[in-house]
Amino acid sequence: MTTTQTLLTPASDPTPVVVNTLPELSGPQWVTRFPGSNRTNDLNSSFRQSAEDFIVALKAAGANVRISATYRPRERAYLMHYCVKISKGLISPDRVPKMSGVEIEWDHGDERASKNAAAEMARGYTIVHPPALTSRHTERAAIDMTITGIIGKTMLDASAQAVEVTDNTVLYRVGASYGCHKLIPDPPHWSDNGT
């Protein structure tokens, strides 16, 4: 649990200094910390080119593309991973390993309070698919994007062949031709290898 300690100051300055001495309790305030990116510039160079070329082809065909995530710092992945596990009862909050640089206390001293705080974090992150500790996002090789308005339209694949996108299966094949592979259980997620 988070506690504070009051330090004494010299007699010339009677104002006490309050310093946090233990990690901060988990909760929704953590969601804005260690922010990720939604810019293709933050992807590794090879996947960045694949993603950008695919997006250009999608937009040229009349699709709308909204990017929600690209690079995810490891600290953010850690927070996302364990808030889901705690909220679902898959790990006890007192068993979560520490991560250097992330001064969070998952254990609120009460199981229900700990789970509720973790669930609030998971909602704040708008988690769709359980996040891994190390993922293509932390490796700068994944993009989460919502693509609309492409079904029924014709677009060019990476070989400049015109393809009618009759359904998502066709879209996934076109994406793969650019080096953007779909992780099907995770609606917005594309990566360099489909994981």
Residues shown for the chain: 195
**Among the listed residues 2, 44, 6, the one whose alpha carbon sits nearest the alpha carbon of residue 22:** 2
- At residue 91, what is the residue type? I
Other CB atoms within 10 Å distance of the CB of residue 99: 15
What is the average pLDDT score of the chain? 91
C-alpha angle 9-15-18 in degrees, rounded to nearest 5: 80
Res 2 pLDDT > 50: no
Pairing assessment for the beta strands 142-148 and 64-69 based on DSSP bridges: antiparallel
Q: What is the mean pLDDT of residues 26-42?
A: 97
High-pLDDT (> 70) share of the chain, %: 89
> Rounded to two decimals, what is the model's pTM?
0.77
Q: What is the per-residue pLDDT for 184?
A: 92
What residue spans of the chain are helical by DSSP H? Answer: 45-60, 74-87, 111-125, 168-178
